[in-house]
C-alpha cells in the first residue's frame, strides 16, 4: 500500500507540473487541445492524490505499522474515529491532506467553469497546479507520508491522548481546508492579472470560494479555542500562541477582503488593494501551514534548521514578489473607476475597516515572529507576550465593532445629515441605556463598559436596519411580518447572512470581554470533607476514586457544588494515566450556564488524600460558542447559491 501511495504522489507531481505548463502554453499560443489536455491532467492529479490519500487511510485502518506515520500516531486500541484523525496528526500526513484538498478544489473549479471563463481558467488552473506541485515536492523529497520504518514494530506509539477529543476531529481539517480554500481566490486573482481580464468575471468566480475559506478558517479557529478550553485545562481558550496566531491572521485578512470586494463590485474601486489582500491572505495561509507544522518560531535557527523552512520561505518569497510585480505591471488597468465622495459614507467605513484589519494583522505578525526579528537585527531573542497582543488588538477590535454598527446606518456614496440623525437615534439610545444600567449594576471597568455599550449599539443598529427593511416589505407587499422577514433574508443572502455573522462577532466579543475582565481563579488544597468558596459557589470535596480500564487508570475526584446554600449538583474532574503514553490527561469538570462557567481542574494529591484543585469562574464563555453557531449559520446563508448568480 505504501508503494501505491508513494508512486501516486510521484505521478501526481509529473501530472501537476505538466498541467501547470500546458495550461499557460496552450492559452498563450492558442492551442485549445493543449488546454484541454492540461485540464484532463488537472483532473488526473485529483484522482492520483485521492488514491494516495486512500492508501494512507487504508494503512491506518489496517494498522500497517511499517509505515512511520501509522506507527507514530496510532495503536491498535485507538478508537476508529481517532485512528482516522491520525491522518493529519503528523507533519507528512497534514501536508498530504493539504495537497489532497487542493487537488479536489482544483478539480471542482475546473468542473464548475466548464465552458466558462475560457481566458481565466487556464491561468488559474496553472497557479493551482504549481501550488499543488510545491506540496508534492515537499512530500516526495522531504517528509514522505509513506516513509517505511526499518523494522515493523508490533504496536504503534498511539495518539497523544490530548488529541483524543471531538474537537480534534474537526478543528485541524476545518483550519487546513480554510488555508487551502484561499488558494482558489489567489489563483483567480493571478489569472486575472496574467490574462489581462481584470473585469468583474474573476471577482464573481471567487466570491463563494473566498467566503467558504473564510468560514472554514473562522470555525477552525473557534473549534481550536474550544478544544484548548475543555482539554488543556489552564482555564482559557486563547493564549496568542504562534500556532493560534497563524490561524487568526489569514482569517483577518480574508475578512478585510470580503468587505473590500463589495466595494469593488459596487463601485469599481480598491482594485489594487484587493489584489494585495488576496495575495497576503494566501501567503499567510502558507505561513500558517508552515508554523503549525514546525512548532514555536523561537529563533531564526529553527526556521533554517527545519528542512522545510527554506522551501516554505522560498515559496512565500516567489508568491510575494511575483504577484507584486504583476500588480505593478498592470497598475494602469487597475485604476479606480470612482473616487470616494465623502468621509461619511459606507465606502470610507469599509476602507477604515480594511485598514484596521490589516493593521492588526501586521501587528500580530510582528509579535509572532518578533523573537526571530530581534535575533536577526540585534542578536538577542526577545519575545512579546499576551499583554502585547491584548493591548494592540483590544482597542482596534472595539473600533471595528463600532464600524460594524455605523455601516448599516449610513448610505453609500454620501450620507445626508437628516437621515443620519434619524438612524442613529435608537441605537445610540440603546447603547446609553445599556451603559448606564451596567454602570449602576456594578460594572466599573471602563473597557468592559465601553465594549458592552458598543455591542448593544451595534446589535440595535443591525436590528433597526433589518426592521426597516421588513416594515417596508410589509407595507409594499402586504406580507405578514414573518414572511417579510424571511423574504428579505432570502432575497439578499449575502447582506443578511453578513448581518448574522456580525451578530456572531458581537456574541464572541461579549464573551471575550466578560471572561477576560471578570474571571476568578483560585488554587486550593483540600482534604476530603473540606470546602472552598469562590464567588457565590461553595465546593465540598467528597473524596476520590480510582478505576482501572483496559487502556488507562482513571482518578476521579467528586465535589458537591452549592450555589449559595442551594445544592446544584456534583462535579467530577478527572485525571487519566494512559498505559501506552507517558503523559497524564486532565479532564476538566465544567458546569456551563449562559451567565458563567464553573471550571474545576484536578491538580494532584498526596498519600494522605489532600488534593489540589484549580477552580475558575469564567463569565460569558458560552457566548463565544454560541457566536460560533451564529457564524456558521450566517456564513452558510451568505454562501448559499443565489439563482441570480448562476446564470
Partner 1 sequence: MIRRKRFLIGGIVILLAVAYLGYRGFEGSATYYLTVSEVKEQGGRIAGENVRVNGRVAPGSVDWDAENNILRFVLVDEEKGLSVLYKGIVPDAFKADSNVVVEGGLESDGIFHADAILTRCPSKYAPEE
Residues forming contacts to partner 1 in the complex (CB under 8 A) are 72, 89-91, 157, 160, 162-163, 168, 172, 232-234, 241, 243, 292-296, 298-299, 339-340, 343, 348, 351-352, 355-356, 359-360, 362-363, 366-367, 371, 380-392, 395-396, 523, 525, 582-586, 601, 603-606, 610, 612, 614
CB of 161 to partner 1, least distance (A): 8
Distance CA 484, CA 612 (A): 57
Distance CA 254, CA 283 (A): 11
CB of 356 to partner 1, least distance (A): 7
Q: Judged by CB, which is closer to partner 1: 594, or 607?
A: 607
CB of 227 to partner 1, least distance (A): 10
Do residues 537 and 561 lie in contact, with contact meaning Cβ atoms separated by under 8 Å?
yes
CB of 182 to partner 1, least distance (A): 21
Positive or negative: CA dihedral 260, 262, 264, 268: negative
The alpha helices in 113-158, defined as continuous H runs, are 120-137
Q: Judged by CB, which is closer to partner 1: 460, or 611?
A: 611
| Of 167, 169, 164, 172, the residue nearest 77 (C-alpha) | 164
Contacts for 226 with CB less than 8 Å, ≥ 6 apart: 167, 237, 625, 628
Distance CA 287, CA 303 (A): 12
3-state secondary structure 185-216: HHHHHHHHHHHCCCCCHHHHHHHHHHHHHHHH
Q: Which secondary-structure segment (H or E) carries 155?
A: none
Q: Judged by CB, which is closer to partner 1: 108, or 527?
A: 527
Q: Judged by CB, which is closer to partner 1: 549, or 606?
A: 606
CB of 196 to partner 1, least distance (A): 26
Q: Judged by CB, which is closer to partner 1: 307, or 486?
A: 307
For the packed helices 621-639 and 493-517, what is the interaxial angle rounded to 10 degrees? 170
Q: Judged by CB, which is closer to partner 1: 48, or 297?
A: 297
CA 137 to each of CA 7, 292, 410: distance values in angstroms, whole numbers, following the listed order: 13, 19, 51
CB of 81 to partner 1, least distance (A): 16
CB of 558 to partner 1, least distance (A): 18
Distance CA 41, CA 55 (A): 21
Q: Judged by CB, which is closer to partner 1: 356, or 434?
A: 356
Q: Judged by CB, which is closer to partner 1: 343, or 447?
A: 343
- Collapsing DSSP to helix, strand or coil, 285 comes out as helix
Distance CA 273, CA 485 (A): 35
The alpha carbon of 152 is separated from its chain's Cα centroid by a whole number of angstroms, namely: 38
- Collapsing DSSP to helix, strand or coil, 393 comes out as helix
In this structure, how many other beta carbons lie within 10 angstroms of the beta carbon of residue 19?
29
Q: Judged by CB, which is closer to partner 1: 499, or 581?
A: 581
| Of 545, 611, 547, 612, the residue nearest 577 (C-alpha) | 547
Give the phi and the psi of residue 488 in degrees, each rounded to 5: -65, -45
Q: Judged by CB, which is closer to partner 1: 275, or 434?
A: 275
CB of 563 to partner 1, least distance (A): 24
Q: Judged by CB, which is closer to partner 1: 348, or 556?
A: 348
CB of 622 to partner 1, least distance (A): 23
CB of 301 to partner 1, least distance (A): 11
CA 471 to each of CA 293, 405, 461, 477: distance values in angstroms, whole numbers, following the listed order: 52, 20, 15, 10
Distance CA 111, CA 115 (A): 9
Q: Judged by CB, which is closer to partner 1: 156, or 469?
A: 156
Q: Judged by CB, which is closer to partner 1: 181, or 236?
A: 236
DSSP state of 330: T
CB of 584 to partner 1, least distance (A): 6
DSSP state of 532: E
Backbone Cα Rg of the chain: 27
CB of 295 to partner 1, least distance (A): 5
600: its cell numbers: 474545576
CB of 299 to partner 1, least distance (A): 8
CA 382 to each of CA 153, 309, 392: distance values in angstroms, whole numbers, following the listed order: 43, 21, 18
- Collapsing DSSP to helix, strand or coil, 145 comes out as coil
Distance CA 107, CA 499 (A): 32
Q: Judged by CB, which is closer to partner 1: 192, or 600?
A: 600
CB of 399 to partner 1, least distance (A): 9
CA 364 to each of CA 14, 359, 417: distance values in angstroms, whole numbers, following the listed order: 38, 9, 37
Q: b/e for 115-152, b at 16 or more Cβ within 10 A?
A: eebeebbbbbbbbbbbbbbbbbbbbbeebbbbbeeeee
- Collapsing DSSP to helix, strand or coil, 539 comes out as strand
| Of 84, 90, 67, 82, the residue nearest 6 (C-alpha) | 67
CB of 160 to partner 1, least distance (A): 5
CB of 60 to partner 1, least distance (A): 16
First to last CA, the chain: 45
Q: Judged by CB, which is closer to partner 1: 503, or 602?
A: 602
Q: Judged by CB, which is closer to partner 1: 318, or 527?
A: 527
Amino acid at each position: 500500500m505504501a508503494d501505491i501511495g508513494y508512486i501516486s504522489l510521484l505521478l501526481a507531481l509529473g501530472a501537476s507540473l505538466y498541467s501547470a505548463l500546458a495550461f499557460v502554453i496552450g492559452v498563450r499560443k492558442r492551442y485549445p487541445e493543449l488546454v484541454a489536455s492540461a485540464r484532463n491532467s488537472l483532473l488526473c492529479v485529483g484522482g492520483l492524490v485521492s488514491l494516495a490519500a486512500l492508501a494512507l487511510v487504508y494503512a491506518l485502518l489496517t494498522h500497517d505499522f511499517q509505515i512511520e506515520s501509522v506507527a507514530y500516531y496510532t495503536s491498535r486500541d485507538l478508537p476508529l474515529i481517532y485512528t482516522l484523525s491520525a491522518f493529519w496528526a503528523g507533519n507528512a500526513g497534514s501536508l498530504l491532506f493539504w495537497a489532497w484538498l487542493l487537488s479536489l478544489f482544483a478539480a471542482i473549479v475546473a468542473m464548475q467553469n466548464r465552458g466558462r471563463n475560457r481566458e481565466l481558467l487556464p491561468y488559474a488552473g496553472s497557479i493551482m497546479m504549481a501550488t499543488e506541485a510545491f506540496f508534492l515536492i515537499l512530500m516526495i523529497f522531504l517528509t514522505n507520508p509513506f516513509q517505511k520504518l526499518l523494522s515493523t514494530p508490533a504496536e504503534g506509539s498511539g495518539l497523544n491522548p490530548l488529541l483524543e477529543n471531538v474537537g480534534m476531529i474537526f478543528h485541524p481539517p476545518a483550519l487546513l481546508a480554510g488555508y487551502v480554500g484561499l488558494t482558489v481566490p489567489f489563483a483567480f486573482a493571478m489569472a486575472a492579472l496574467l490574462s489581462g481580464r481584470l473585469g468583474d468575471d474573476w471577482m464573481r468566480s471567487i466570491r463563494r470560494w473566498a467566503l467558504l475559506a473564510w468560514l472554514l478558517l473562522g470555525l477552525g479557529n473557534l473549534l481550536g479555542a474550544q478544544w484548548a478550553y475543555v482539554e488543556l485545562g489552564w482555564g482559557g481558550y486563547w493564549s496568542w500562541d504562534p500556532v493560534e496566531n497563524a490561524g487568526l491572521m489569514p482569517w483577518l485578512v480574508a475578512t478585510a477582503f470580503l468587505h473590500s470586494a463589495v466595494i469593488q463590485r459596487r463601485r469599481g474601486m480598491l482594485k489594487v488593494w484587493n489584489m494585495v489582500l488576496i495575495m497576503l491572505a494566501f501567503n499567510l495561509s502558507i505561513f500558517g501551514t508552515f508554523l503549525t507544522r514546525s512548532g514555536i518560531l523561537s529563533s531564526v535557527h529553527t526556521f533554517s534548521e527545519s528542512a522545510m523552512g527554506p522551501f516554505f520561505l522560498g515559496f512565500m518569497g516567489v508568491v510575494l514578489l511575483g504577484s507584486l510585480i504583476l500588480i505593478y505591471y498592470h497598475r494602469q488597468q487597475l485604476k479606480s473607476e470612482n473616487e470616494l465622495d465623502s468621509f461619511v459614507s459606507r465606502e470610507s467605513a469599509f476602507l477604515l475597516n480594511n485598514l484596521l484589519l490589516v493593521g492588526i494583522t501586521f501587528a500580530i505578525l510582528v509579535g509572532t515572529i518578533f523573537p526571530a526579528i530581534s535575533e536577526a537585527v540585534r542578536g538577542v531573542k526577545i519575545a512579546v507576550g499576551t499583554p502585547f497582543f491584548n493591548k494592540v488588538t483590544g482597542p482596534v477590535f472595539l473600533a471595528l465593532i463600532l464600524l460594524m454598527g455605523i455601516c448599516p446606518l449610513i448610505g453609500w456614496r454620501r450620507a445626508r445629515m437628516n437621515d443620519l440623525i434619524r438612524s442613529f437615534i435608537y441605537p445610540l439610545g440603546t447603547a446609553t441605556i445599556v451603559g448606564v444600567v451596567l454602570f449602576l449594576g456594578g460594572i466599573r471597568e471602563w473597557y468592559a463598559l465601553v465594549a458592552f455599550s458598543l455591542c448593544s449599539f451595534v446589535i440595535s443598529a443591525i436590528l433597526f436596519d433589518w426592521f426597516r427593511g421588513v416594515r417596508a416589505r410589509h407595507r409594499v407587499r402586504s406580507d405578514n411580518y414573518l414572511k417579510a422577514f424571511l423574504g428579505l433574508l432570502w432575497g439578499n443572502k449575502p447582506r443578511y447572512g453578513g448581518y448574522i455573522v456580525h451578530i456572531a462577532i458581537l456574541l464572541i466579543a461579549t464573551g471575550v470581554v466578560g471572561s477576560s475582565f471578570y474571571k476568578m481563579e483560585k488554587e486550593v488544597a483540600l482534604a476530603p470533607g473540606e470546602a472552598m468558596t469562590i464567588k457565590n459557589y461553595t465546593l465540598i470535596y467528597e473524596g476520590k476514586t480510582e478505576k482501572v480500564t483496559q487502556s488507562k487508570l482513571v482518578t476521579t475526584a467528586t465535589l458537591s457544588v452549592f450555589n449559595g446554600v442551594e445544592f446544584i449538583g456534583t462535579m467530577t474532574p478527572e485525571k487519566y494515566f494512559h498505559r501506552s503514553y507517558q503523559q497524564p490527561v486532565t479532564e476538566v469538570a465544567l458546569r456551563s450556564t449562559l451567565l458563567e462557567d464553573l471550571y474545576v481542574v484536578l491538580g494532584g494529591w498526596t498519600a494522605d488524600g489532600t488534593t489540589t484543585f484549580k477552580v475558575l469562574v469564567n463569565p460569558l464563555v458560552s457566548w463565544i460558542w454560541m457566536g460560533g453557531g451564529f457564524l456558521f449559520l450566517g456564513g452558510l446563508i451568505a454562501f448559499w447559491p443565489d439563482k441570480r448568480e448562476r446564470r
